[in-house]
Amino acid sequence: MERAKVANRNEFGRKKRKSDNGEAMKMRNEKRKEKEDKNISGNLRFYVSSENDKVEIFDMIDRAKLLLSERVSLVSNAMILRDVFQFYLSNNGGAPDQQNEGETESFKPYLRSPRDNCMEDICLISESSLKNLVASIRVEIDSFDTFGHVQKLTLKCKDMHTIKIDTSSRLPGGKFLVNLRVLHGIYSSGLRYAQYERFAKYAGIGVIPESAFHEVQDMFCDVTDDAVKESVSDALDD
């Protein structure tokens, strides 16, 4: 009997109820629309010579999202386009980030580290000091997640507005500058992963996973080998 009801419903649809029409349905639709995010949309038109070119561009956008964030949903198409335009303008005579004298720098939820700023000073800060700093601007830490030696914070104000911030800028490709700088120091000192892990654990500064440690180490060794060969070649030429 139940199977016959299901088959009948699949073929002819659910039996209409009074609440499906009139004021009741209108009220339900209005409540649903109120819950939906009211994002402002914008359309950007571009022209390509073939369907394959269009697919290639959309594929590059998706790959860029993966590089910019651990979760694709955290990075919008608008953020991708803004970074692309800023990069192009900054390398072709434009200066989208220049500010008038006296203006304060605006907050950037995704802070990139320019090539000439990779050796900026890095400092350690305790959790209590960080909370004290945050409290001084009348917000509190809603969530606190650690990625290696970097903290990803969600700050919340008394009106329940939230904002996300990282304790490190990112290099092109999405990797945290602080994590790479720490690994650079570890590789240069000759420590193996077990020694680094023990040091970082007892120092309480977070630990980078072993897989990421060796992945970056391979890149570091390739660059070091090239630098050594270039140095030897220069010495022989002299």
Cα angle, residue 140 at apex, residues 138 and 143 outer, rounded to 5°: 155
| pLDDT over 80 (residue 40) | no
pLDDT, one tens digit per residue, over 132-156 is 888 887 888 888 888 899 988 888 8
CA dihedral 19, 20, 24, 29 (to 10 degrees): 140
Which of 96-100, 120-124, 214-218 tops mean pLDDT? 214-218
pLDDT at 104: 45
Cα angle, residue 82 at apex, residues 78 and 88 outer, rounded to 5°: 145
Backbone angles phi, psi at 232, to 5 degrees: -65, -40
Element (H, E) at 46: none
User: Among the listed ranges 74-83, 121-130, 160-169, which one has the minimum average pLDDT value?
Assistant: 74-83
Closest CA to 169 of 207, 204, 119, 208: 119
User: Among the listed ranges 23-32, 97-106, 110-119, 188-197, which one has the minimum average pLDDT value?
Assistant: 97-106
pLDDT at 58: 81
pLDDT at 99: 47
Instruction: Give the mean model confidence (pLDDT) for residues 58-64.
Output: 78
pLDDT band at 229 (very low <50, low <70, confident <90, very high): confident
3-state helix, strand, coil in the chain (%, to 5): 55, 10, 35
- How many C-beta neighbours within 10 Å does residue 151 have? 19
pTM of the model: 0.52
Q: Report which of residues 85 and 96 the model is more confident about.
A: 85
DSSP string, 150-177: EEEEEEE-TT--EEEEESS-B-TTS-BH
C-alpha span between 159 and 220 (Å, rounded): 46
| pLDDT over 60 (residue 235) | yes
Closest CA to 147 of 131, 129, 170, 128: 170
Copy the structure tokens of residue 234: 């220069």
Q: Report which of residues 159 and 94 the model is more confident about.
A: 159
Mean of all residue pLDDT scores within the chain: 76
